Amino acid sequence: MGQKKQPAAAALSDPKKRRRVGFFAIDAGIEAKDCIKIYLVSSKEEVDASSSFCIDPVDLDSFFGEDGKIYGYEGLKINIWVSSISFHAYADITFESKSDGGKGITDLKTDLQNIFAATLVESKEEFLQTFSTQRNFIGSIVSGGQVLQQKTSNGHVASSDSNSVAASNVEVVRMVIGDTEAGPLYGQLIPLVFLLVDGSSPIDVTDPCWELYLLIEKKVDHQGEEHSLLLGFAAAYRFYHYPGSSRLRISQIMVLPPYQHKGYGRYLLEVLYGVAVSEDVFDLTIEEPLDYLQHVRTCIDVQRLLTFEPIQQAVNEAASHLKQGKLSKKTQIPRLMPPRSAIEDVQKSLKINKKQFLQCWEVLIYLGLSPVDKYMDDFVAIISNRVREDILGKDSGTTGKQVISVESDYDQEMSFTMIRSQPGEAACTVQLTDESQANQEEQLQKLVDERMKEIKLVAEKVSSHCV
């Protein structure tokens, strides 16, 4: 039995029998950074003011889903106000419409609480009240701390027993975590640490080996009352060092955005160096410093080393050896390393460890060349030789390490792997193609160029006596 077929034309002519298929666009979402602005304010009058300080840029992607996007909203705008008085936060959320566009609807309240935790208040009125109810929050906490150093209004620094204390308006206060109120204060700062310090994680506020160094500004209001304002802080861990000493390691250091690039970060580092010297710790180190922090640190250390008499002869001898000339033409280029006695003296007296001292040593030699252009080729040859030995090993021409370019989604120009020949193996066990050899040389040259740029920047800053 056959099935009766209806002509196609007849089927299309009857609108009731047409099949209708609808399509809708999948919600593409919106980048968190495109709809969220974070403001740091010190008074209720600054809330909603166009002149309020906006913290920018802030990496928010890691706090919103796997792709850093917000879904389900049209015309979304989030203004987050953070008080620099008590570090409470309030989020003002507005949007035109909300619907599931195929990717769900982001739970904004939960995501924001994951960032700001207990510091996030529910209402704007409650947030505004904190400027009066919490106005002495910082002052009451730091009153139990130890004032280490004070900076006067004319830029001079005085110790805590100086006669100029009364004229000061900026001071560094040390508080031991676990023994003081520093724990609750740090808890209020954690959201800003997450947002502003790359790769940070909270410190253990129950561990008494942690110390907070708080940079405090004393301000007098219109009523003549003095209030304390937090400009920044450093968190340092005090390790035991055998047989009866300790080591200080800076884990986090942050200057709040409105006060950055004004010398406060440098001042805080200088105070920490003062602590390391006065308390005779073994050394002071920084845990994975970012490039700018490392730059400031090196500028400070180079200036201290320039006036450190025990190493001046060694620096002069290294510079004189380089000035003899034609090092770049030699097959064996010397590294001009500092003597062991200099390394030991610097660590003992200035608390600068060997790794950091070697970074500064190259800058010291560069500063000792005059005119520097005359000796630049030889100096670059020394830096190039040092970089090559550090990466490939001293026997890079035969055995040792080999650098081979590899494909990577991270950075196509600076992606490589190193292979070390085993003892007794011939150099031919690792064969480099002409292309790989060229890539290796190109990558090494980029490292040399970056290092030369760093040396010149530090030398310029030190010579002008400012950072």
Residue of 45, 287, 441, 460 with catalytic role: 287
Asked whether the CA dihedral 180, 182, 183, 188 is positive or negative, the reply is positive
Spatial CA neighbour of 342 closest among 311, 307, 305: 311
Looking at the predicted structure, is the pLDDT value of residue 150 above 50?
yes
pLDDT tens track for 387-420: 988 888 765 544 455 555 556 665 555 565 655 5
Q: Is 231 exposed, middle or buried (0-12, 13-18, 19+ CB in 10 A)?
A: buried
Residue closest to 138 by CA, chosen among 115, 90, 171: 171
CB atoms within 10 A of CB 122: 10
CA angle 219, 221, 223 (to 5 degrees): 145
pLDDT band for position 438 (cuts 50, 70, 90): confident
Q: Closest Cα to residue 65, out of 91, 29, 101, 37?
A: 29
Which of 2.60.120.370, 3.40.50.1000, 3.40.630.30, 1.20.1530.20 would CATH assign to domain 135-153+165-288? 3.40.630.30
Short-list 325, 342, 347, 343, CA closest to 334 = 325
Round to whole Å and give the CA distance between 120 and 195.
15
Q: Where are the domains of the chain?
A: 30-133, 135-153+165-288, 289-394+439-466, 397-430
Q: With bands split at pLDDT 50, 70 and 90, how would you rate the model's confidence at 370? A: confident
30-133: which CATH number, 3.40.1350.10, 1.10.3720.10, 3.90.360.10, 3.40.50.1000? 3.90.360.10
Whether 339 shows a pLDDT value over 50: the answer reads yes
Contact present, 322 and 379 (Cβ < 8 Å) = yes
31 is catalytic: no
First to last CA, the chain: 95
pLDDT value at position 351? 97
The strand pairing partners of 90, in sequence order, are 81
Confidence label for 26 from pLDDT (cuts 50, 70 and 90): confident
Q: What is the pLDDT of residue 427?
A: 44
Model confidence pLDDT, tens digit, residues 302-336: 999 999 999 999 999 999 988 887 766 666 677 78
